[in-house]
Amino acid sequence: MVYADNAATTKTCSAAQQAMLNAMEQFWGNPSSLHTPGQQAKEALQTAREAVARAIGAQPREIYFTSGGSEADNQAIVSAAKFGARRGKKHLITTAIEHHAVLHTMDQLSKEGFEVTLVPVDESGIVKVEDVAAAIREDTALVSIMYANNEIGTIQPIAEIGALCRERKIPFHTDAVQAVGHLPIDVDAQNIDMLSLSGHKFHGPRGVGALYVRRGTPLLTFIHGGAQERGFRAGTENLPAIMGMAAALEDACAHMEENDAHAAGLRDALIEKLSAIPHSALNGDRERRLPGNVNFCFEGIEGESLLLLLDDKGIAASSGSACTSGSLDPSHVLLAIGRPHEVAHGSLRLTLDRDNTMEDVETIAAATTEVVEYLRNMSPVWKALQRGERNYVIQ
Ligand SMILES: *Cc1c(COP(=O)(O)O)cnc(C)c1O
């Protein structure tokens, strides 16, 4: 099997597996217990917290472990919204291309009386800093803009948006789930107040993540109970997962440059090969994208069929976000960059990583070219396009 769906999840690396086994064998105590096994677990928890903090230039006490990226996004956004509301600020800013963990949280808040501005992106899938500036109001309680997009891989001007928010004294949250472990991050240099990350997007285990919250930025308790995570997130700590995540992150950061260079080389080769398919188009900016991200639209075909046939050929790919697959709605991200519905349905996301090879790229390119041609030959839409009864959307 060629695995090309690393944006959905990554395979747990051996450093993470070892750390998890170690946690279960040696640090099975409850970190809140005063006896020796408890205190040993507490120390291991602190070591993991230091490692996660180091990876993004934060202080250990600014890291709160969560059950994943979704929980971190929810807590950051709901916290900032409620603190804003106490001071009469009920306006929230985000973008049209966020992950649903952000968008659906914003939807819920808008039902509760908050006003949400969705800043658009241009056709390359990048947010303009001027548009964020123009959206800011007297009553803006939060700006939340993702670091890198999970579908089309575009990297946003986070440092510039951070500087803008700092100047206007508005808390700035970034969903950096796709970026952490893949791109260098420094929360101070980039003026980030809150940041979400998730273990399983950088070869750690799933069901664990973290929320970074800058000292001085108010945070609300999201899960009530014991005093874990300095009282902000109750529940006995999932130490095996936390230690696994920390080990995976240290490993990813130690080899970031070589991993990125490798993935970017594969990405560029695959983009070149898939561009040779007639009436195909790359989604998202060519330069400002994650090292392993390839996302294409092919005119006249249906993304779901493409995926199933690629799976038959031993290739694991995606039509976009794993969270929307299974629904028939086209991707909100592809619609936001201006792809019409009929084309947005024919999308394919291939996300490559350090474990992929140039041979994988050749296999993927050959199989995709073949399957696209096969599906087009059966497609009434494609026939109508070829007979000139319809106009091509993608030239
Ligand atoms: C995967 C992902 C999430 C959700 O993280 P989980 O740990 O799976 O809850 C949030 N945002 C982005 C951008 C993601 O890619």
Give yes or no for residue 99 CB within 6 A of ligand 1. yes
Q: Which of 151, 145, 82, 154 is nearest to 119 (CA)?
A: 145
pLDDT of residue 345: 87
* Domains (range + CATH), the chain: 14-254 (3.40.640.10), 256-386 (3.90.1150.10)
pLDDT of residue 320: 67
Give yes or no for residue 154 CB within 6 A of ligand 1. no
pLDDT of residue 324: 46
253 classed as catalytic: no
Which backbone phi and psi does 210 adopt, to 5 degrees? -150, 155
Give the residue whose CA is nearest to atom 10 of ligand 1. 69
Q: What is the pLDDT of residues 337-376, one digit of tens each?
A: 999 988 888 899 999 999 999 999 999 999 999 999 999 9
What is the Å distance from ligand 1's center to 343 Cα? 25
Ligand 1: which of 10, 70, 152 to mutate, most ligand atoms within 8 Å of CB? 70
Q: What is the pLDDT of residues 97-130, one digit of tens each?
A: 999 999 999 999 999 999 999 999 999 999 999 9
Ligand 1: atom nearest CA of 200 is: 7
Mean pLDDT of the region 150-175: 98
What is the Å distance from ligand 1's center to 324 Cα? 12
Catalytic residue among 13, 165, 253, 323: 323
In Å, how far are 41, 63, 237 from 30, measured between CA atoms?
6, 19, 8
Q: What pTM, to 2 d.p., does this model score?
A: 0.97
* Average pLDDT taken over every residue of the chain: 96
Give yes or no for residue 209 CB within 6 A of ligand 1. yes
Ligand 1: atom nearest CA of 9 is: 1
Do the beta carbons of residue 306 and residue 285 sit within 8 Å? Answer: no
Give yes or no for residue 74 CB within 6 A of ligand 1. no
pLDDT for residue 325 is more than 70:
no
Ligand 1: atom nearest CA of 146 is: 13
